[in-house]
Amino acid sequence: DAGVIQSPRHEVTEMGQEVTLRCKPISGHDYLFWYRQTMMRGLELLIYFNNNVPIDDSGMPEDRFSAKMPNASFSTLKIQPSEPRDSAVYFCATRGGSREDGYTFGSGTRLTVV
Amino acid sequence: GENVEQHPSTLSVQEGDSAVIKCTYSDSASNYFPWYKQELGKRPQLIIDIRSNVGEKKDQRIAVTLNKTAKHFSLHITETQPEDSAVYFCAAKGYRAGSYQLTFGKGTKLSVIP
């Protein structure tokens, strides 16, 4: 298994532009989490899905952020419009069913908004 | 929901010395406590975990201890090496939005001085 695959690895965009981050979970993992990591706040949970259904989006900072999981193999996190304060590393993580406790993280997307 | 506090935020040790990182949690129902290591520019990776029915677990130079009564757990690294330098995150599996999910500490930056 190739693990959790995120793309792109790096993204530099101008303020106001739309940004889409992508994640392919490990096959069979039915939980998918989106985290944002900054020096100030550490790892923040933005949203998570169970069986493609969004369960808790209370960590999404504002309406500019949205996430989807159209099928078990793919999820996106979109920021529209982007702002410089959105600059961070965004991680996708997945885990299996209730007996599988550990999370597997993707390599992350380093987003820079200028 | 669960709240995890981690100390210290930074730790410097001489190569060969031991390092200890401590975490406390708030939800007495939490039953799973993993530790993640994140090297610079890389993804967090699970290095060791412990469940609430065990007081201590060892894996070569690393060990975790759990005190359920006091609701704290610790990571111990013995005979530290330069490659142990990284950010370490503790986490606790607590109840959030209808299911049990991991809540992460803010991280400890460990520097091992050769």
Secondary structure in 3-state letters for chain A: CCCCEEECCEEEECCCCCEEEEEECCCCCCEEEEEEEECCCEEEEEEEEECCEEEECCCCCCCCEEEEEEECCEEEEEECCCCHHHCEEEEEEEECCCCCCCCEECCCEEEEEC
* Segment A84-106 mean pLDDT: 87
Average pLDDT of the residues of chain A: 93
* Model pLDDT, residue A32: 95
* Residue recorded with tokens 């069913």: A97
pLDDT above 70 for A1: no
Which chain B residues have any C-beta within 8 angstroms of a chain A C-beta?
32, 34, 36, 42-46, 49, 89, 93, 96-107
* Residue recorded with tokens 């490659």: B83
Nearest to B108 by CA among B92, B80, B91, B87: B87
Would you place residue A75 in the very low, low, confident or very high pLDDT band (cuts 50, 70, 90)?
Answer: very high
| Strand, helix or coil for residue B68 | coil
* Segment B52-74 mean pLDDT: 94
Question: Which amino acid is located at A64 in the chain?
Answer: R
Would you place residue B52 in the very low, low, confident or very high pLDDT band (cuts 50, 70, 90)?
Answer: confident
* Segment A33-47 mean pLDDT: 92
pLDDT above 80 for A4: yes
* Residue recorded with tokens 């009564």: B69
Question: Which amino acid is located at A8 in the chain?
Answer: P
Distance from CA of A84 to the nearest CA of B (A): 20
Q: Which residue of B has its CA nearest to A10?
A: B41
* Model pLDDT, residue A2: 78
* Segment A19-39 mean pLDDT: 94
CB contact under 8 A, B42 and A103: no
Report DSSP state, residue B42. S
pLDDT above 60 for A99: no
pLDDT above 60 for B84: yes
CB contact under 8 A, A56 and B97: yes
* Model pLDDT, residue A100: 60
* Segment A41-48 mean pLDDT: 91
Structure tokens at B33: 């406590």
What percent of chain A lies above the pLDDT cut of 70? 96
